[in-house]
Chain A
Amino acid sequence: MEPSLVNAFPPTPLNLIGGLLLVAGTAFLLLGGLGLVRMPDLFNRIQAGTKATTLGTLLSLAGVACLQPDWSLKLLLIGLFILFTNPLSSQVLARSAHRLGSKQSPLTRVDRLAEDSGEAP
């Protein structure tokens, strides 16, 4: 028989926590995906994408760290990379979209940035 990645039986408390963290992480990633579909415009979609993927991925990494404690340090580094790069890329996407005049949802109430750059709101 192939050796399994995680020796799950009998489940140790750490394995159990790891599994729960993985499920929670996946749930947030799923909600992020749902947000991408449901949100009305680019800016709201980015919001759904950034936040849900950050927490979802961090929880999944924490779950893996519980199942494979040897990998903890590297998983922590991956988490840090995500924390630093995810908001940056979202911000750059949002800024370029705004500069290019990406269409905003009719629900949008105010746009101070457009007002201050001298465009029509």
Chain B
Amino acid sequence: MLPLFAILFPLWIVLNGSLATDVLITGLIATLVIAAGSRGSLSPLTEFRVTPAALWAVPRYLLYFLKELVKSNLRLAAVVLSPELPLNPGIVKVRTRLKSRMGRLLLANSITLTPGTLTVELQDDWLYVHWVRMETDDSEGATARIVAGFERYLEVIYG
């Protein structure tokens, strides 16, 4: 509850762009009610490990993510624009070492936003990923190519 409040309340202040008392009181009530109503649900601070290594991993993760996002778009552009539409789609199975719920959520989302991959389902330690240009259907090879890059950072941040 508190982590969610710690995100929502500053968000409210930023959106309002004002520190007037009535604005603050309204926001305080609204965000507390929302935070209380979503107890048990996840927020980016759930299970966050507050260690220097984790804090340092956050910007590196974001940078890596943005790089992959741009790469992903350029590749997709190449596929969409080429006349023969070079597809080789398949749904592969990859394994994650992450145990925390938030870590897994971010991993699944990151995979969806990166080169030609889309998370379809998450079961136990296994993620089922749709791959536009499948390079391998072997789950270890696919894990190394799809998961490893993000896991390196998320492991430090969330475990």
Contact = CB atoms under 8 A, between A and B. Distances in A.
Nearest to A108: B89
A73 B118 CA distance: 30
Nearest to B105: A88
Contacts, number: 126
A17 interface: no
Interface in B83-104: 85, 87-93
Contacts of A90: 112, 118
Contact of A74 (B15, B70, B116): B15
A78 B90 CA distance: 33
B15 A77 contact: yes
B73 interface: yes
Most chain B Cβ neighbours within 10 Å, of A40, A55, A84: A55
A46 B14 CA distance: 33
A31 B73 CA distance: 9
Nearest to A91: B119
Nearest to B94: A112
Contacts of B77: 28, 31, 52
A47 interface: yes
Q: Is chain A's interface secondary structure helix, strand, loop, or mixed overall?
A: helix
B30 interface: no
A51 B73 contact: yes
B76 A48 contact: yes
Given A50-B112, A54-B113, A77-B15, A108 B90 contact: yes
Contacts of A113: 91, 93, 120-121, 128
A75 to B, nearest CB: 11
Interface in B102-159: 108-110, 112-113, 116-121, 123, 126, 128, 130, 132, 134, 137, 139
Which residue, B79, B108, B120, has most C-beta atoms of chain A within 10 A?
Answer: B120
15 contacts: A31-B80, A35-B79, A38-B85, A43-B118, A44-B130, A48-B76, A50-B112, A50-B113, A51-B69, A74-B15, A87-B113, A91-B120, A98-B91, A104-B89, A116-B128
Interface of B: 11, 14-15, 17, 69-70, 72-73, 76-77, 79-81, 85, 87-93, 108-110, 112-113, 116-121, 123, 126, 128, 130, 132, 134, 137, 139
